Amino acid sequence: MEAIWVTLITSGLATIFAILIGLPLAALCARNDFVCKKMLHVTLRAMYGLPPVVVGVVVYLALSKDGVLGDWGFLFTIQGMIIAQTLLILPLVWGISWTGMEEIPNEVMEIYRLSDVKIPYVWLMVFEAKNQIGAAIMLAFGRAIAEVGAVMIVGGNIKGFTRTLTTSIVLETQQGRLTEALMLGFMLLSLAMIVSIIILLFEENWFHRFYNENTECNKPEMEMLLDGKTTLNNVSYSIDGNEILTNISLEINQGECVVILGGSGSGKTSLLKIISGINKADGDVILNEKNMIVPQKPVYLRGNVRNNLIEKNLTIEEKNWWLNEVGLLEFGDRDPRTLSGGELQRLNVARCFASNANLMILDEFTSNLDGPNVLQMESFISEHTKRGGSVILATHNPIQAKRITDKIFIMFDGALVDEQHPKISSLIDGNWMG
């Protein structure tokens, strides 16, 4: 029985320490560029198969009387075994979590940033990459609990004190007691399976809020928005030396809807990302107090459909009202990954307008919608501007542009031009062909 507790304590605490150290490091590496970043990632992956005896020897030397940590007195103790196991599994947690966090679309994290969610950035990344992180934790715990070499070197295999299930199995096998060894092996396997199931269940339900299929709706009180203005003056933007935007000057006032009309590749999306603060550009940029964006490609967040409405002040019933407005009330408890393209687009629109941000930034936000849904989404724009909010919409559809507003700018080849520009001949009979 002592061996079971020693196994759980050493492997469990080692896994916890690896999580506490590895996840912040993974988030830091995933979202920042630095010298030798690629080399570090490759090194971590190479360390997934780090030989336990090597770790054991290193830790033994560090904890020995003449070692750098010799004053701690951790040699042949549970504490020393925990240190050895933590070092052994840390690359797994760090490296696999890093990979998972890097795969999170930038648009997802920008939605969180723009929504001003009061949750630490690292925590949000962990939430979005929870599947990969869950796998990393299970692999780390599995390796820790099955470890023999390092714990024997550092712990000394002292009966009733540092002896684990794995070292007990080795001892019983060496003494020819195969039945006892098999029983201990079965206990070890059962323990690993139980812990893995617990981790899986936790991962599956983590951050999910269950509302008992609550479908009650309550229209939220949408406050009048304060005066706010977004201004761009001689803004230019380049990627790897290629100029994307050239000398853009634009002003969006309170209660105003501005449409940027242009074909694919004209620079509309790049301009909207600068206005939202996602991309940084050269020139004078004065951004609105609070922005929210509907990206060209719909974005879903982890959790259920209802929880994708992340405005912190909304009640469950108010979230239901928004879902009902876009025809998604019945999908409130579903995984957003099960939605169609059009449904996901409507969810993005609901999330944007539910935020009641001063400036709504809409990038081809009706591209996946049919006629009735398009008109419904456009009504949100009208109601928002009546409350003093502002809207900037990028589209290739001149008919929609003229239906929404009289203030239309035309973008061509990274610059704002007027309709008299000699190259703007593609705007014919209300159809943009550029």
CB of 87 closer than 8 Å to CB of 151: no
At 433 the pLDDT is: 45
d(CA 102, CA 125): 9
Mean pLDDT for the stretch of residues 303-316:
86
> pTM for the whole thing?
0.77
What would the pLDDT profile of 377-433 be if each residue is shown by its tens digit? 889 999 988 888 889 999 888 888 888 887 888 888 888 876 655 555 455 344 554
Q: For residue 211, name the pLDDT band (cuts at 50, 70, 90).
A: very low
| 262, HSE (Cβ side, Cα atoms, 13 Å) | 25
At 100 the pLDDT is: 95
Higher pLDDT, 226 or 384: 384
Mean pLDDT for the stretch of residues 294-308:
88
Write the Ramachandran bin of 323: left for phi over 0, alpha for psi from -120 to 50, otherwise beta.
alpha
At 209 the pLDDT is: 46
Q: For residue 127, name the pLDDT band (cuts at 50, 70, 90).
A: confident
User: Packing angle between helix 78-102 and helix 121-128, nearest 10 degrees?
Assistant: 80
- Residue listed under structure tokens 């070499």: 149
The fold of 230-432 is Rossmann fold (3.40.50)
β strands within 271-352, DSSP E: 282-286, 291-294
What would the pLDDT profile of 312-347 be if each residue is shown by its tens digit? 788 889 999 999 999 999 998 888 989 999 999 999
- CATH architecture assigned to 2-205: Orthogonal Bundle (1.10)
Angle ∠(144,146,150) on CA atoms, nearest 5: 65
Interacting residues of 226 by C-beta distance below 8 A, sequence separation 6+: 289, 358, 388
pLDDT at 58 over 70: yes
In the chain, the percentage of residues whose pLDDT exceeds 70 is 92
- Give the start-to-end residue ranges of the domains of the chain: 2-205, 230-432
At 22 the pLDDT is: 96
DSSP state of 261: E
d(CA 252, CA 272): 12
What rounded mean pLDDT belongs to the chain?
A: 85
Local structure of 258: helix, strand or coil: strand
Q: For residue 207, name the pLDDT band (cuts at 50, 70, 90).
A: very low
Mean pLDDT for the stretch of residues 96-119:
86
d(CA 67, CA 18): 23
At 239 the pLDDT is: 86
d(CA 45, CA 66): 32
d(CA 400, CA 412): 18
Q: For residue 87, name the pLDDT band (cuts at 50, 70, 90).
A: very high
Nearest CA among 384, 351, 386 for reference residue 365: 351
CA dist 416 → 211, 250, 277, 280 (Å): 48, 9, 19, 19
Mean pLDDT for the stretch of residues 277-282:
85
d(CA 231, CA 275): 9
CB of 343 closer than 8 Å to CB of 312: no
Strands 242-252 and 427-428 come out as: unpaired
The one-letter amino acid at 171: L
Lowest mean pLDDT across 199-208, 298-307, 322-331: 199-208
Mean pLDDT for the stretch of residues 152-171:
84
What would the pLDDT profile of 128-149 be if each residue is shown by its tens digit? 898 899 889 989 998 999 888 8
